[in-house]
Amino acid sequence: MKETESEELSSASPSCSPPPGSHSAAPPAEAPGCQKLEENRDMEIKQVTLHKRSGQVKDHSKKVGVLTAEVVSSCVSNLGRFGSGLHHVYHHLSLPSQDLSDVSVLSKYVHLEMLELPHNKIKDLSCVSHMPYLVTLNASHNEISSFFGFQPPMNLKEVNFSHNRITKMEDLSAYSSLCNLDLDYNSLSEITGLEQCFKLTHLSVAHNKISRISGLHSLPLTHLCLRGNQLERIEGLEDLKCLQVLDLSLNRITSLSGLLNLHLLGSINLEKNMISEIQECKHIHDIFLLRDLNLVGNPVQDQPDYRLAVIFLLQHLTVLDQEKVTVEEKVSSVNQFDPPLDVVAARDHMTHLVYQLMQPQVLYDSTMPTTDSPYPMLVLTGPQGCGKRELAHRLCQELNEYFAHGTSHTTRGPYFGEEDGIDCHFVSEEDFQNMIHMGKFIQTMQYGGHSYGLSREAIEEVAREGLACCVHMELEGVFSLKNSYFEPRYILLIPTQMDKYMGHLTSRDLYTQAQIDMAVSRVELYANTNRQRLGFFDNVIPCADWEEAYQSLRQVVKEYLLLEEQEEGENNNRGSPDNTSNGHEPEEKLPSPRSGSGALASHSATPIDPSDPSYRNYFTKIQAELSPEKNPVELASIRRREHLVREAMVGKSPGVYSQLFKSSAQSAPSSLQNPDAHVNEASSSDESRASSALTVPGSAGGLNDSVEPQDISVLGHNLETLKDQTPEATRPGTDLQDVVVSPSSDKRPGSNNKPILPPIPAGRKTPASPSPATSPRPSPHPAGGEGGDVDREG
């Protein structure tokens, strides 16, 4: 406002000017009692009201920048009662943008509760010392350089000193009611003096020169704004347990560390900082109330999959970078970064299918199995190092007339003693990727930073031998196979004694502690899968003791193959071998090879000794070395037998053997009922009993068996022990008793609908291997209790 205009207005309406000492807001009650003054006060209120109504008063500063009582009178509001209730005062005064530089007249307005003086030129606010009832003070956009340069009004709660010239904060312990302090756009380099502000919930110190967060310890701040400073790290906030909204935008912050314990934080603004790593979000992962995160203008936004990755890490976010997080984004993020096993499997399967279909040579490959032509397969699954690999190899050795190992490809390097092509096909990452693109794999998975894959060729190679393929793999592989046209039998081998399991992993001396932890943690994954997906595995075998586990596995597999009955039959009919009443050729009833190395061999394959450093090299080598010639009759017998095995493995209706011995199969389906069936049946150990009970071969998927309720009581002790030892033991719903005793399907899902197997493309290439009796590693169980040395063909 111009000076002349101001003068004019001022002189043009002298009546508007209240007499000295008279003002629109009454003096304090404790002021010297002056009845006249008090009477005048009421008069003035009326006057001011009249002025306000008539709109006559606009600006009445006598001098430029000097506030007059007239102006005050025109700008007060919020009439209220005072003291006894008989007096009236105005509580609010608002004088924005008046070019005021001198507001000393306000020292007479002692009853003001709200004073707004923004956008003026005020340097001195000492008048506020006379306003004991002041609650809100807005002096933003002025020229104030002294920090709280007035006596503390007792009830002062909100102060806005933004856009001033304050360079230093001073002790505010006398301002104990202060709740909200705005010091934006000053020249502060440090936050100090707030230690005693026990009611301060909102503090804004945006656009200052603060390079370090300090002086905030234990304040009850719920809102803190430090936007536009020079901060490089988040610190000094650890004790702000009430903090809900934090604005650190426009700084130079590179990490989100320092926010760890702020559990009530709901919103963090980090716009335009220097955060470059998605992993930084891990620092705020545990802030469960965090709903709104702003990382706009940070280098991290350029990271691939940035948005989904952040949403994945911070699942509770509802707004990211000022955009609402959609449900679809949340689902996609989980599917991308921690997909459920089904999703992984479906994706894996899709990949391989796509690549297989892209390969013309595969498309027209007559040997390519179709959905009606699954090759027989046996899949042993379980957590790393549970023994499945050793058991698979041993089974392939002992039942080498029926099984051969399907060797996976891997990008990991060979362990000491491992041989390429036997333990695994060791390939480079590049070769592995090439194989994927060439459609070579049935399934692949990532485990421990390496790729693993089972090639179609690995299975077909075995099938060409006329054998069923026995593989071992992690759970993801099983999920993947379930999507494929293969329909294997799935046997879960699960550690039931965690200390033993961990001890075994450690003693292998191959794994880091992190790898061991991961393997151990996955036990629960297997357990849950078995518990939640009835019939997902055809059998579950606890593998606390590998020898017992092997015996159980062997028994289960023999029941798949309906060999137990044959064995019985052979033993029972040793003196009458023809069985001609059934109309079968003698050799059809004589599955045991001449060498005795097959299912009816006189002894088990070499027991597993994990402490033997060469045990990883297995028996496969032995098999490869031994390949005696077979005569045509033997070969014909073997072929018929192979056919039956394949039928049995894919769940087709039982073949001649089971027809022959049907009655005995029904009368003694379970090894539990047969004291001779298990080597350690008589063992008094809990593990032994658990193992026996758990594997109940009669309910284990035998083709003719009905589901038999399993006696879980014998597992009690064992499982209690396990519960104590398992890290997840206390988690509700993770009772491992459920795990191991959940019913294995006695029939595989879909086993009723098994297609008939196609003829094996090329017949058996190499004859069956001879007995492991010729193994350089003599079996410690030469008798084996498995029917003795039967050489029926001879």
Q: Which residues bind ligand ATP (CB under 6 A)?
A: 384-385, 388-389, 408, 412, 424, 443, 445, 447, 452-454, 472-474, 477, 510
Q: Compare residues 245 and 518 and give the one whose CB is closer to ligand ATP.
A: 518
Task: Give the span between the Cα atoms of 558 and 233, in whole angstroms.
Answer: 66
Q: Compare residues 288 and 415 and give the one whose CB is closer to ligand ATP.
A: 415
Q: Compare residues 453 and 598 and give the one whose CB is closer to ligand ATP.
A: 453
Instruction: Give the other-Cβ count within 10 Å of 512's Cβ.
Output: 9
Q: How far is the CB of 491 from ligand ATP (least distance, A)?
A: 13
Q: Compare residues 145 and 351 and give the one whose CB is closer to ligand ATP.
A: 351
Instruction: Look up residue 279 and give its two tokens.
Output: 């992993």
Instruction: Look up residue 343 and give its two tokens.
Output: 């999703």
Residues 6+ apart with CB under 8 A from 448: 384, 412, 515, 518
Which residue minimizes CB distance to ligand ATP?
A: 477
Q: What is the dihedral of CA 179, 184, 188, 189, to 10 degrees?
A: 100
Q: Compare residues 183 and 478 and give the one whose CB is closer to ligand ATP.
A: 478
Q: Compare residues 410 and 775 and give the one whose CB is closer to ligand ATP.
A: 410
Q: How far is the CB of 348 from ligand ATP (least distance, A)?
A: 9
Cβ(166)–Cβ(145) under 8 Å? yes
Q: Compare residues 389 and 589 and give the one whose CB is closer to ligand ATP.
A: 389
**Amino acid in the structure at residue 380:** L
Q: How far is the CB of 743 from ligand ATP (least distance, A)?
A: 25
The arrangement of strands across the sheet holding 425-426 comes to: 425-426, 409-410, 450-455, 441-447
Q: How far is the CB of 450 from ligand ATP (least distance, A)?
A: 7
247: helix, strand or coil: strand
Query: HSE of 716 in the Cβ direction (CA atoms, 13 Å)?
Result: 3
757: helix, strand or coil: coil
Q: How far is the CB of 744 from ligand ATP (least distance, A)?
A: 20
- Exposed, middle or buried by CB within 10 Å (0-12, 13-18, 19+), for 132? middle
Q: How far is the CB of 351 from ligand ATP (least distance, A)?
A: 14
The residues that bridge with 202 in the sheet, in sequence order, are 180, 223
Task: Give the span between the Cα atoms of 515 and 412, in whole angstroms.
Answer: 14
Instruction: Give the other-Cβ count within 10 Å of 553's Cβ.
Output: 27
Q: How far is the CB of 538 from ligand ATP (least distance, A)?
A: 18
Q: How far is the CB of 510 from ligand ATP (least distance, A)?
A: 6
Q: Compare residues 243 and 541 and give the one whose CB is closer to ligand ATP.
A: 541
Q: How far is the CB of 753 from ligand ATP (least distance, A)?
A: 26
Q: Compare residues 251 and 384 and give the one whose CB is closer to ligand ATP.
A: 384
The arrangement of strands across the sheet holding 468-473 comes to: 403-405, 468-473, 377-381, 489-494, 539-542
Using alpha carbons only, give the angle 497, 672, 786 rounded to the nearest 5 degrees.
Answer: 95
How far, CA to CA in Å, does 779 sit from each of 93, 275, 321, 622, 776?
102, 63, 67, 14, 9
Q: How far is the CB of 408 from ligand ATP (least distance, A)?
A: 3
Q: Compare residues 130 and 472 and give the one whose CB is closer to ligand ATP.
A: 472
- Measuring CA to CA, which residue among 204, 240, 207 is closest to residue 224? 204
Task: Give the span between the Cα atoms of 147 and 159, in whole angstroms.
Answer: 11
